[in-house]
Each structure stands twice: as structure tokens, then as C-alpha cells.
Structure 1
Amino acid sequence: MEYTKLGSTGVDVSEICLGTWRFGMESEGVLETDRETAHALLDRFAEAGGNFIDTANAYGDGDSERWIGEWLTERDREDYVIASKVYWAEESRFDQNLSRKNIRAEIEGTLDRLNTDYLDLYYIHRWDDDTPIEETLRTLTRLVKEGKVHYLGASTMAAWKLTKALWTADAEGLESFTVTQPQHNAVYRDEVADYLDVCADQDLAVCPYSPLEAGFLTGKYERDGDIPEGSRGDIGTWFDPESYTDRQWATLEAVQAVAAEADATPAQVAIRWLIERDRFTCVPIIGARTVDQLEENLGAADLSLSDAQTERITDAYRE
């Protein structure tokens, strides 16, 4: 596993981040990842050299943080970069809220579940339209000064809101966001283009979630085929083949063609395409329900794509 600087933070992280949103989560009554499997996934990720782990207070009703915390007790905390999030509530009844009161309650719950004194990275999970961003940033700044948080991040939001937050931090002398977590992958670009322009201009690291478009980029789905049993599309409600455009299917075909040339899987190629984005530091967040799935995704770290192959995937979407 290679390591990269996380944007302007100076922190060295593995070029792939392990996402744990499936830990303790149920989809259509199916538990996606239980405690034993969660620990096995963390073990394998660490064995591969991974040190960057992403969670949130609301994942699995707090079980994601709890299970990571249990796992960390047997390891050196300083070896890992742990990121969590605030917006939805586990400790407070003030859900979808970034007020001082809610952030204070949620950070204490997160630290307790993770069994740690600090977070390396703390994201706002969404934007709170009812709380002034200055109040949110002042509260987060205080957490940094207290040593409970090292760096601040922002997840999904409109580009103008991210810009407003960066401007407010600069104007008021507050801690600013240095890392972002938007949805982004080879077939999800236009919707986040303005957001990524801000990241590139302001030297913000990008840690995209859903790098495989919830399985679409693995090639397991066909335009006119049946949804495979046991897949995300089978146990969830998100997948609708008719919702994808011709250029998204064309991009998938380009990913599959490059995979055949590189003796790799489409998933590995799609993840590698993100790692090699050159406008900003890009550290994709991968999720897996089994160790075998994780093993496949980790293969992206050993993959090398030519400039021509990378551009072919990029151009397939544009055309």
C-alpha cells in the first residue's frame, strides 16, 4: 500500500480509505456486516498497510464506531487515521443539526464509542441550513484547540455552501475544512463538478464515497439483465438500470475494456481511476461486505494504468 499526503494536512494516509458505513447496517431486514465480519475486514485492511478508516456517529446506530473502538484497543492508536462525522444524532434529540449543543454532545459520544481521546478528522456530514455556519465553525475550532479533533472536513453539500464555509473561516480566523467527502466516481461527475472545482482551487483533499457507484462499476449489472441475487441492487431499493444514461453505460464499457487489458477487475480499475486524479489529492473510500470483496478492491493499490487508459475512461463519459 502506497501512502499520500492528505491534502494540505501533512498527514500520511494509505491511498485507499476503508469505509465502515455497512457495519451494523440493515438493508431490507438484512444485516450487511456483523461485528465478527467488521473486525475481520479491519484486520485485513491493516494487514494490507491501510491506516485510514472512515466512520460516522450514525452508522449502524453507533455500532460502526463501537466495533472500531473495540478493534483499536488491541492496537497502537497512533498508527491509524480515524475519521468520523456529525449531523445526524446518536446522543441528542436534535437530529440533522450542527448547533454548538449538538456538536458538543455528539463528539463526546463518538469519542466514547471509539474508545479514543481524539479524532484525526471530523466531518460535517451535511449542511445545516438552520444553524449559522459561523457558529458551527467556532464550535469545531474549539474542538481543535482542545485537542479532541485534529482536522476538519465537509461531506456532501452544494459548491456555494462549501465556498461560504471556507470564506467564513478565513474572514473570522477560524479552523477551515481541509478534506472533503463528496459522492464521486467515473460515472458520477456532472452533479459534483462545481464542488470539485472548489476543492482543486483551494487545495482540499477529496475522499469520495461510493467509488463503485454502489456496485454499478463492478460490471455485475447489465442494461437489460436480471439483478444478481445477493447484490446491493437485490437487497436494497436503489438500483434501476433505466436510471443510468447512455454515457454512464459507455463509461462502464470503457472500464471493463481497460480491466481486460490490465488483467484486473472493473472494480479495481474504477478505484484506480480515482486515485490517479491529478487535480487534487484523491483517496477513495471503499466498502465491502466480505473479506473477499475487500481483497479485490485492495488490488487497486497494486494496479497501474497508462495515461491513455485513464483518459479513455475519462473521455467515455464526456463523449
Structure 2
Amino acid sequence: MEYTTLGSTGTTVSELCFGTWRFGRETNGVVETDRGEAHELLDAAWDRGVNFIDTANVYGTPNGKSERFIGEWLEDYDREDFVLASKVYFPFDGWGEPGPNDSGLGRKHIRRQIEGTLDRLGTDYLDLYYIHRWDDDAPIEETLRTLNDLVREGKVHHLGASTMAAWQLTKALWTSDVEGVERFEVTQPLFHAAYRDDVVDYLDVCADQDLAVCPYSPLAGGFLTGKYERTDDGVEAPDDSRGAIDPRFDEYYVSARGWEVLDEIRAVADELDATPAQVALRWLIEQEKFTCVPIVGARTTDQLDENVGATDISLSDAQHDRIAEARYDEEGRRWGHRD
């Protein structure tokens, strides 16, 4: 495993981050990753050199279960070996029916949620604390000052921002500068080889401000692994895949552009004797304008092994460009979401 510095911070992380959104999550009454499976995956990630773990207060059914699984696992390890990230924003159901102040980015909610997160993880501090979304109802000054206080108190080392518009990220960075408080150093957008133009303004801000980018769904929900095939009716999905169980999969990840990019990823994978998943992840890792650390959400140790294999390959400039250029037709027009 190779390691990289997280943007302009002094924190060093593995080239891949292990995502835990499936831990304790129930889908149609079935737990996607139970406690034993979660601990097995965490063991495997650590054995393969992954020191960066991503979770959120609302992951799991009920909320908080993912953080609790991780905290119980950490009891057998040295906390200082790991870089832990969690998030705040959404309503939290782990304490019963959410009240009027149990969501968003106001001071009261952030203060309550950080204490719950630290308790479930069994730690005194987070290495990285993300705002999970932008809050139109809370003044960004209040949010940033509250987060700044958490840094000053030693409960958080660095701040991060997940999905939002480029102008919102810019406003937050400007506010931090003007108010003299801690700024967001890490971002977590939806970003993969078939979905760059959609967030290019956001990524330009990250590049200009030397922010690290930790994309979620770097494999487009599994679409870019190559396990899906085109059919006259749309897509053929394996029985146990996300495409087979998630009714939103087609809308979010299947597109004319996606098929074109996947075809090129498959071609490069054949050239490198690698898998499409490894090539898609490596394409992200090798971004030149900013530090990029994809978040992988493997469901099995075999999937994790395959994902970690992305750190053992390298794309040529031509291969990297071919994948990027596959988003456009011969006349330079970007393929649309539908045929």
C-alpha cells in the first residue's frame, strides 16, 4: 500500500479509504453487513495497509450502528494507527424520534452529535469531521465557528465537506478566511470516471485551494466494475448486485456516457492485465490537480482485495486520457445520461 498526504494537511493516509455505509444497514429487512462481517472486513483492510476509515453518524439501522461496530473493533487495535472520519447533518434516529434540533448544522445539533459519535467510536477525537450536506437554514458562520471550537478543544483534527455546490464550498472557504476560523480541508463529492463534468466547477475549487478529494461511489455503485451488461431492455445485473436490489440504480448510474466509459476502462484493463474496478479506481488516484483518495465500500474480502489491487497498477498518460475522452462522441459532444 502506498500513502499520500491528505491535501494541505499534515495527515498521511492510504491511497484508498474504506467506507462503512453498509455496516448494520438493513435493506428490505436484511442486514447488508453484520457485526462479524464488518470486523472481518476491517481486519482485512488493516492487513492490506488501509489506515483511513470513513463512516457517518447516520450509517446503520438504527443510526449509529456503523460507528459502534468500528468502535468495538478498535478496542483490539491502537487508535493512533488509524485516520477516522465521520459526518454530521441528517436527522439521527438512534436516540428515538428526532426532535426539531436533531438535524442540520446548527450549534446545538453539531454539539450533541459529536459527543455521540465519539462515544460510539470509543475515541476522544476524530481525525476528520465532515458536514454531510449544506444547511440552508443554519448560518455558515455559526457552523464554522462551532466546528472551529471542536478543533480547538481537540475533539476534531480537520474539517471536511461532502456533497454541495461549488458556490457553497467557495462561500464556506471565504467565510473561514474572513472570520479567521478553521476551513474545510477535505471534500467528499460523487465523482467517478463517468461523472466528472457534472462536478467540474466543484473540483476546480478543490484544485485551486489544495483540498483533498475523497469521492464516494468511485465505481458508480458497482457499474464500473464491469459486472453489468447492456441489453435491449437496459442492463443485466447479477442477482446479488446493487443493480438488482436498488430501484434507483438505473437512474443514478446507468447512462449512455457510462457505457462508453466502461468500454474504454475494460479495454485498458485488458492491456494491463487488471480488472475494470482496479482501472477505474486508479484513474481517480492518479488525478494530477488534487489529492484523490477514493472511498471503497467492499462487501467481501475478495472485493476488497480486488480494490486494493488498484494501488499496484499504473496508467499511462494516454490510457488516462482515453478514459476521460470516452465521455464525448466523435464531434466532441458529451454523451448524455440516456441514449
TM-score (structure 1 length as normaliser): 0.97
SS at match of 1:305: coil
| Counterpart amino acid of residue 229 in structure 1 | D
Q: Deviations over 1:241-290 (max 9, x none)?
A: 89743232111000000111111110011001000000100000000111
User: Is 1:163 matched up with 2:170?
Assistant: yes
Residues 172-212 of structure 1: CA distance to partner in whole angstroms, max 9, x if unpaired?
Answer: 10110000000000011122111101101111000000000
How many Å apart are 1:317 and its aligned residue? Answer: 1.2
The corresponding residue for 2:109 is: 102
Structure-2 change in CA distance of 1:181 and 1:96 (3 Å): same
User: For 1:227 and 1:36, how far apart are their aligned partners in 2?
Assistant: 27
Take 1:298 and 1:237, find their aligned partners in 2: how far apart are those partners?
29
Counterpart for residue 25 of structure 2: 25
Equivalent AA in structure 2 for residue 263 of structure 1: D
Match of 2:51 in 1: 51
Unaligned runs of 5+ in 1: none
Q: Which runs of 5+ in 2 are unaligned?
A: 330-339
2: CA distance, partners of 1:72 / 1:131: 34
- Of residues 299, 303, 306, the one that matches 2:316 is 306
Per-residue CA distance 1:34-87 (angstroms, 9 max, x = gap): 110100110010001110000000000111100110111111111100000000
Cα displacement (A) at 1:234: 1.1
Deviation at 1:296, TM superposition (A): 1.0
Number of corresponding residues = 319
Correspondence for 2:149:
142
* Cα distance between partner residues in 1 of 2:255 and 2:70: 38
Choose which of 87, 93, 111 in structure 2 pairs with 1:85: 87
Q: Give the conservation status (yes or no) of the 8 Å contact 1:182–1:209.
A: yes
Q: Distance in 1 between matches of 2:225 and 2:29?
A: 24
Equivalent residue number for residue 277 of structure 1 = 287
Q: Distance in 2 between matches of 1:245 and 1:71?
A: 39
Structure 2 SS opposite 1:59: coil
Amino acid of the structure 1 residue aligned with 2:45: F
Q: Using the alignment, how far apart are the partners of 2:75 and 2:213 within structure 1?
A: 29
Alpha-carbon separation, structure 1, partners of 2:316 and 2:306: 20
The answer as to whether partners of 1:28 and 1:235 remain within 8 angstroms in 2 is: no
- For 1:6-45, list aligned pairs within 5 A: 6-45=6-45
User: 1-side partners of 2:243 and 2:254: how far apart?
Assistant: 14
Q: Contact conserved, 1:223 with 1:241, CA < 8 A, in 2?
A: no
Counterpart code for 1:176: R
1:210 is paired with a residue whose SS is coil
Per-residue CA deviations over 1:75-114 (Å, capped at 9, x if unaligned) read 1111100000000133563344100000000000000000
Structure 2 residue 119 is the aligned partner of structure 1 residue 112:
yes
Q: Is the 8 A contact 1:27 1:236 kept in 2?
A: no
Partner of 1:227: 237
What is the CA–CA distance in structure 2 between the aligned matches of 1:261 and 1:101, rounded to whole Å? 54
> How much has 1:309 moved relative to structure 2?
1.1
Structure 1 position 11, deviation (Å): 0.7
RMSD of aligned alpha carbons: 1.4
Q: Percent identity?
A: 68
Q: Once structures 1 and 2 are overlaid, which stretch shifts more, 141-150 or 26-35?
A: 26-35
| Inter-partner Cα distance in structure 2 for 1:45 and 1:158 | 32
Q: For residue 323 of structure 2, what is the amino acid of its counterpart?
A: I
**Structure 1 SS opposite 2:49:** coil
Which residue identity does 1:212 align to in structure 2?
Answer: L
CA distance in 2 between counterparts of 1:236 and 1:260 reads: 29
Whether the 8 Å contact between 1:256 and 1:266 is mirrored in structure 2 is yes
Aligned residue number for residue 130 of structure 1: 137
Give the secondary-structure state (helix, strand or coil) at the position aligned to 2:151: helix
Distance 2:125 2:260 in 1: 44
Q: Distance in 2 between matches of 1:85 and 1:147?
A: 17
Change in Cα spacing, 1:16 to 1:242, as seen in structure 2 (3 Å) is closer
Using the TM superposition, name which of 93-102 and 130-139 deviates more.
93-102
Q: CA contact under 8 A between 1:30 and 1:235: conserved in structure 2?
A: no
